[in-house]
Structure 1
Amino acid sequence: MQAKPPPSKADADPAAHSQGGSHGRNTQKFIDHSNPGERRPIRRRHVLKDRRYRRDDEITLDTSMFLKESPYFEIPVQNVTARVGRTAKLTCVVENLGHFKVAWGYKVTGAVLTVATQVITKNTRISVQREQQSTWVLTISNVTMKDQGDYWCQVNTSPPRSISGYLSVVEPPVMEGGNEEVTITSGEVANLTCRARGTPTPTIRWIREDYDRIRINATYFASDYIGSSLLLRTVNHRSAAGYLCIASNGHPPSISRRVIVHVK
């Protein structure tokens, strides 16, 4: 009768067939690539506190590459435009965050503004809200021109993952000065001025209050004129009228100033 071969080690230890062993221990194996000539299995020994790295004897590996799911940005941070004095909100959506944290920062200065739901900056106009588990909203109230720039949303993976959005701050036109009434002798030059500020820089447009054409000089008439200064050369009694300077920059409301010209 043919003799039976001796039982294999696997047959002798049924727990070797199970992934967890008799005590539910993790026997997942990784390959050591530090020695190309030798491919020996490495058993997971222990995981560091931050769970990103594991250490086996003299070898340290970043285990994030083995994870089926790791943090990722669901959508880009949308650029935002806000008016001076209003509130701006930038939204960052991070899925599979796990034990990691989300931070907001201001790229212009490099300052960290918030970490998780905690506000780090001393700027009292900054706040952060977590919505629906995966959405982080940075809120800037009473926006000023100094708030304009890139804001980054970052996850503290190794290396960190970040994405940014831009806050544009606009300011509707504001009148800063100019004359309101001009008295000029016939045949002389009248200089009408109008100044306005805003972001973007406002455009100044002149029209006559009665919608008649503007007499720029003796031979040139125009329905309107663009520029902060309107020169009326060799004025005559027809030049006497009310003129409107209108400042606009694409962000309502436009504003106007009335200048009255008297001709002696």
Structure 2
Amino acid sequence: MLADCHPKLLHALIQKYSISSAVQGSGGGGAGNSLVETTTRGPHFDAAASKNVTALLGKTAYLNCRVKNLANRTVSWVRHRDVHLLTVGRYTYTSDQRFRAIHQSHSEDWTLQIKYPQHRDSGVYECQVSSTPHLSHFIHLTVIEPDTEIVGGPELFIDRGSTINLTCVVRHSPEPPAYIFWNHNDAIISYSSSRGGVSVATERGETSRSVLLIQKARPSDSGNYQCNPSNARPANVTVHVLNGEHPEAMQHGGNQRMGPSLGVLAFIAYVLLAYS
């Protein structure tokens, strides 16, 4: 009887019978079990592609949620702080225009975009699938502001003829700054100027450092120095190049020496009085 069938119909029947036999005859294991799992497992999250996010203050943040086997279900984003529905599918359901739903056709990624994130945006966001019962994956957003410091500031006192050693440290940045510029009295420092003896060394990493060296300090080197990282606020220090004066803080050849503390001075005075 099968021989009387149309060739295309016969081929389809054979394929259908073969697949059904493989599934039914697989029992509790083997390749057939993998086939059943693949075809019957419902929507689930890819945790490796849906991680917590650390974002820079004011720089666009992207929270990604990857859902496999979504079928005809919908993905939504909810902010836990106020249980506010932000997006449903590709549509944004909030009047805050900083939030936007992003999804490309045939993609498993459902992304929540947050423009100009502020500290108050830090917290838990829920990626929710409209299954029964609904599925949830939680992503924590941390909005940070990198911290910039010039070691030894805000004022440094330098002996004339010694080396000015300024170290700028950038902390709490999710990525190293692309560049760190140095300014002197609002003008960018040129390392190839006729002044000579000016160099800089920069090390980028979890904590980035930039060291500015100015040899044979002269009075014209006094003034305001500013460290400008590309992804953080600048830091300032005022440098005084002196001729023999000895203020409370003095840097010699790049090392800072602090004057004696009040406690030490009081102890010296007590000893002198006791033995006078």
**Same fold per superposition (TM over 0.5):** no
Structure with greater Cα Rg? 1
What's the TM-score, normalizing by structure 1?
0.45
Name which structure has the greater RCO, CA cutoff 8 Å, separation 6+.
2
Which one has the bigger helix percentage?
A: 2
What's the TM-score, normalizing by structure 2?
0.43
